[in-house]
Amino acid sequence: MPTTDPRRRVPRTDAVLADPLLADLQSTVGRDRVREAVREGQEQVRRGDLPPELLVTSVADELRRRSRHTEVLNATGVVLHTNLGRAQLAPAAVEALVASAGCTDVELDLATGVRARRGRRTLDALARAVPAAGGALVVNNGAAALSLVLTSLAQGREVLVSRGEMVEIGDGFRLPDLIESTGVRLREVGTTNRTRLADYADAVTERTAAILKVHPSNFRVEGFTSEATVAELAGLSRERELPLVVDIGSGLPRPDPVLPGEPDAATTLAAGATLVTCSGDKLLGGPQAGIVLGAADVVERVRRHPLQRAFRADKLTLAALAATLGSATNPTHEAVHASSDVLRDRAEGLGRRLGAEVVPSVGRVGGGSAPGLDLPGWAVALPELYAERLRLGSPAVVARVEGGRTLLDVRCLPQARLDDVVEAVLAVREQLAEPEGASGA
């Protein structure tokens, strides 16, 4: 009488490990990790959750999944989606990042053979992008840039900041907590909706070390409002001999007519800011980085602070940022500036291939940039239940669920990846058409 004991169907560990597919993986991730994954797969076979003949490929897929992030195609219509890593890098930036993965001249002058200024190509590229900046510094993110600047200029003293700029961003991160963790005392001035130049002037004392202006990136206050401009604050900072630090947030290097309310580095420095801090992975379209721009002597003072070493950008960031600044365009710029006609053509092409309806869609810049700004576009509408299955596919397609439908907004989907989107949707359609339990038959 044939046995039904599932344990007899479990392939032996040594036999599985000897499979050429897993033998190759052992040379890259190690035998112990492969053995652990095999044992987990064997347990799935014992429970009846995995056919024995699929054990090897299942283990290989799981090991690859663990060793890297899952590729995601952004069909949300949000250009700088924080949960998806914000800016997509330009091809030139990806090439530069890969080329710098080995040894590179990040801090060496090959002509002389002696130590050189770290990340000099990146700093030179920043100088070309924002000529008004006498000096530049790159650290590992925007919060690091602001905290390093304030630590260097005002540790143990006071910084003036408007109550309307005491912002909280994602995941409960609050600006006051960041600043006060540096040993700087915040002196709030004005009110939530109205802060005048006189409020700053009246608050200056012998304990004041700097004036801080923060762009409230992810919200807008409307109605009965007023704020002191950078130019007004610059006049006060010169009069009282205090540095003016302006955190513009999104990293826009120069004015952009599509983003009329978004501050940029060039204009802010021209208006008299001593230093500007911003992020590299938002509207600049580069890797995660924090950027400090402004008066050369003050930037050098910040660079020489001991904490700078803890916040220093690595060689990959420097390489990708330099390539981003040297590129004529990048995916972030293209997605923000894509015309409605181009997006409609892209959506209709995708809709025809899927036999699905094309509908108007409103995208966002995201990443705390340009709050309230609509980006009119187009999307392909699918049933709501497609959303979860598309997220779990390979590559994952993350769409927007709205009004009981899954919307594939094409704004951030490159033309070259539409074939992948079609394959992902058709795979889901096939799954949904399959009778319940048929896959385990």
What is the tens place of the pLDDT at every residue in 39-61?
Answer: 988 888 888 888 888 888 888 87
What is the tens place of the pLDDT at every residue in 293-303?
Answer: 999 999 999 99
Name the least confident of 74-78, 124-128, 196-200, 233-237: 196-200
Confidence (pLDDT) at 154: 95
Question: Which residues does 333 contact at the CB level (< 8 Å), separation at least 6?
Answer: 285
Q: Helices 120-129 and 315-326 sit at what angle, rounded to 10 degrees? A: 30
Token pair listed for 146:
């602001």
What is the tens place of the pLDDT at every residue in 4-16?
Answer: 555 567 888 888 8
Confidence (pLDDT) at 101: 94
**Continuous H helices in 109-227:** 120-129, 142-154, 175-180, 197-203
> Contact, 78 vs 363, CB < 8 A?
yes
363-to-154, 189, 286, 399, 418 alpha-carbon distances in Å: 40, 35, 20, 12, 18
Name the least confident of 94-98, 167-171, 382-386, 390-394: 167-171
427 has a pLDDT exceeding 50 = yes
Domains of the chain: 15-67 (no CATH), 72-84+333-440 (3.90.1150.180), 91-328 (3.40.640.10)
Which candidate, 368, 358, 326, places its Cα nearest to that of 121? 326
146-to-6, 68, 107, 244 alpha-carbon distances in Å: 60, 31, 24, 12
Tokens 């260097």 locate to: 152
Q: How confident is the model at residue 172 (pLDDT cuts 50, 70, 90)?
A: low
Q: What percent of the chain has pLDDT above 90?
A: 68
Token pair listed for 389:
């299955």
Average pLDDT of span 165-186 = 77
For the whole model, what pTM was predicted?
A: 0.86
What is the tens place of the pLDDT at every residue in 225-274?
Answer: 678 899 999 999 999 999 999 999 889 999 999 998 899 999 999 999 99
